[in-house]
Amino acid sequence: MEGARPVPEDLLEANWQLPIEDLRDSRWEVVVVGAGPAGAMCALHLARAGRRVLLLDQAHFPREKTCGDGLIFDAFNELNRVGLLDAVRSLGRVVSSASITSPSGFEFHIPAEYITLKRRTLDALVAREAVRSGAIFHFGEGAHVRINPDDTVHLEIEECPRPITARVLVMATGSAVRFAREAGVLVRPQSSAVATRCYVRSRFRIDRIVGVYLRSTAPGYGWIFPMKDDLYNVGSILFSRYRRGRLPHSHEAYDAFTRSSEPARRLLAEGEAVSPLRSAMIRTGLAGSRLLGPGPVLTVGEAAGSTLPLLAEGVGKAMHTGRLAAEVIHEALAADDIRVLGEYPRRIEAELRRFYRGLARAERYVGMRAVNDFMSWRTARSPFLQSCLAALIKGSADPGDVFSLHAAVQSLWR
Ligand SMILES: Cc1cc2nc3c(=O)[nH]c(=O)nc-3n(C[C@H](O)[C@H](O)[C@H](O)COP(=O)(O)OP(=O)(O)OC[C@H]3O[C@@H](n4cnc5c(N)ncnc54)[C@H](O)[C@@H]3O)c2cc1C
């Protein structure tokens, strides 16, 4: 376990998020609605580039976010770019291995670096850094959007007496679809998955990430993420789009996992749940929303479906989309030409699309019990497949290559 650096107090007091009544200026270069990893990272980069940016969130920070709290290479890269990786490492817990178990009990391990840190702390850390870099952060719920004839954005915020005008609006509202629909960016309201999590404090020690596919949770899996101080994030995910017939309630999948998986059962037998069971929707596959427009509106993070299929890992990709949006917005404002915003979907396609294709394919196949069992059995015996999966988690291999027929065939002798 990492050293016990205490969470800085001002991080959790959040006097750096101002009330909406105190919002004086009504004209902004950029307004970012939603201060999760996507929105806060976007505001941070824009502020560091010298842009006048207003960041808004309907929640009082620090706020809870229903999440597995796990981070991998892509989040490390984005945090490192803005100088926050060391803080995250020292506030969180570093874990160096994951075990994955198939529905019939075939188990394999993926050695890699994983960090767990409560989203309450992580998101506050990034939003506070955005404020330190010059962004203005207010409490406020985006309510209505209209594009003015001069191509600026007219924005109404709940309980704010005056509307706001922005040259560019960034939609960073996560899996909540109401405001995205209002702004005209929503294409498909259905989510890709639903996931449930609970914090458990236990004397039983688990030092690795645990992922378990059960027949009753398919298509989906249960997880245990070890955190600091004998705390564990325990949860389950159900992929909604491959299920024929009735999708079990997400709490049923959680119950099935904690009753029948041996590590989860022992964790609860020697400990107790210390939070309510919470569920949330997940939007994956870079689909479901327009990345650009109508008007000068860019969609980032889970609002753009940026969470990865299969892994449901979304923090790193949310930050990445936030950074790309910030770069393009800065260029558009510097050139005084909003047509430059058209670069944003192109950069997303060029830098990110390849991560989604192979994982979407894998997500479909792991929902088939026989395929899942066979591939897990092969992986447990194939050093080649094990190294492919480790490379995937470390970001040095493409999911399209790892989850391919070519790799499956090679695993027969490697
Ligand atoms: C149970 C579960 C487990 C997960 N586990 C992991 C994991 O282990 N690792 C990982 O990387 N990812 C995980 N994810 C995915 C991850 O949570 C998302 O990918 C990530 O939060 C997306 O970041 P975001 O900034 O796009 O959206 P969010 O983090 O959802 O932030 C959106 C913000 O917008 C605000 N907002 C919404 N509407 C408005 C409005 N109208 N006005 C103002 N503010 C508004 C919200 O209050 C919120 O703060 C998990 C998800 C779930 C549900």
93 contacts 115 by C-beta, under 8 angstroms: yes
Start-end of CATH 3.50.50.60 domains in the chain: 9-67+120-190+284-358
- Looking at every residue in the chain, the average pLDDT score rounds to 91
> pTM (2 decimals)?
0.95
Answer yes or no: CATH 3.40.50.300 is held by domain 9-67+120-190+284-358. no
Q: Is the CB of 302 under 6 A from ligand 1?
A: yes
Residue 283: pLDDT above 80? yes
pLDDT of residue 394: 85
Mean pLDDT of 15-41: 95
Query: Bridge partners of 97?
Result: 111
Q: How far apart are CA 172 and CA 42, in angstroms?
A: 9
409 or 66, higher pLDDT: 66
Distance of CA 80 to the CA centre of its chain: 17
DSSP output for 78-127:
HHHHTT-HHHHHHHSEEEEEEEEE-TT--EEEEEEEEEE--HHHHHHHHH
Instruction: Read off the tokens for 302.
Output: 């889970």
340 contacts 331 by C-beta, under 8 angstroms: yes
What are the backbone angles phi and psi of residue 113, rounded to the nearest 5°? -95, 130
Residue with token string 């591939």: 375
Residue 2: pLDDT above 50? no
Tell me which of 58, 139, 192 to substitute to probe ligand 1's pocket, judged by most ligand atoms within 8 Å of the beta carbon: 58
Q: Is the CB of 390 under 6 A from ligand 1?
A: no
SS (H, E, C) 262-314: HHHHHHHHCEEECCCCEEEEECECCCCECCECCCCEEECHHHHCCECCCCCCC
* Span from the CA of 67 to the centroid of ligand 1 (angstroms): 8
* Span from the CA of 175 to the centroid of ligand 1 (angstroms): 7
38 contacts 322 by C-beta, under 8 angstroms: yes
For 303-345, how does the pLDDT look when each residue is reduced to its tens digit (9 = 90+)?
999 999 989 999 999 999 999 999 999 999 999 999 999 999 9
Q: Is the CB of 65 under 6 A from ligand 1?
A: yes
Of 96-100, 145-149, 312-316, 361-365, the poorest mean pLDDT is in: 361-365
* Beta pairing, strands 164-171 & 27-33: parallel
Q: How far apart are CA 39 and CA 84, in angstroms?
A: 16
Of 42-51, 209-218, 280-289, the poorest mean pLDDT is in: 209-218
Tell me which of 315, 355, 356 to substitute to probe ligand 1's pocket, judged by most ligand atoms within 8 Å of the beta carbon: 315
> Could you tell me how many residues make up the chain?
414
Q: How far apart are CA 330 and CA 309, in angstroms?
A: 30
Q: What residue type is 57 in one-letter code?
A: D
Residue 3: pLDDT above 50? no
Mean pLDDT of 248-257: 84
Q: Is the CB of 314 under 6 A from ligand 1?
A: yes
Q: How far apart are CA 363 and CA 220, in angstroms?
A: 9
Q: How far apart are CA 203 and CA 9, in angstroms?
A: 28
Instruction: Read off the tokens for 199.
Output: 């914090």
Q: How far apart are CA 277 and CA 347, in angstroms?
A: 38
Q: Which of 282, 20, 46, 364 is nearest to 164 (CA)?
A: 20
Start-end of CATH 3.30.70.2450 domains in the chain: 193-281
- CB atoms inside a 10 Å sphere around CB 340: 16
Q: How far apart are CA 298 and CA 224, in angstroms?
A: 35
94 contacts 113 by C-beta, under 8 angstroms: yes
- Nearest protein Cα to ligand 1, atom 52: 67
Report the nearest atom of ligand 1 relative to the CA of 59: 47
Report the nearest atom of ligand 1 relative to the CA of 303: 26
Residue 218: pLDDT above 90? no
Handedness of CA 73, 50, 27, 332 (dihedral sign): negative
In CATH terms, the fold of domain 193-281 is: Alpha-Beta Plaits (3.30.70)
Confidence of residue 134 (pLDDT cuts 50, 70, 90): very high
Percent of the chain predicted with pLDDT > 90: 73
What are the backbone angles phi and psi of residue 3, rounded to the nearest 5°? -60, 155
Q: How far apart are CA 119 and CA 112, in angstroms?
A: 21
For 5-15, how does the pLDDT look when each residue is reduced to its tens digit (9 = 90+)?
566 767 777 68
CA–CA distance from 409 to each of 55, 355, 391 (Å)? Answer: 49, 21, 18
Instruction: Read off the tokens for 314.
Output: 């979304």
Tell me which of 76, 115, 282 to substitute to probe ligand 1's pocket, judged by most ligand atoms within 8 Å of the beta carbon: 282
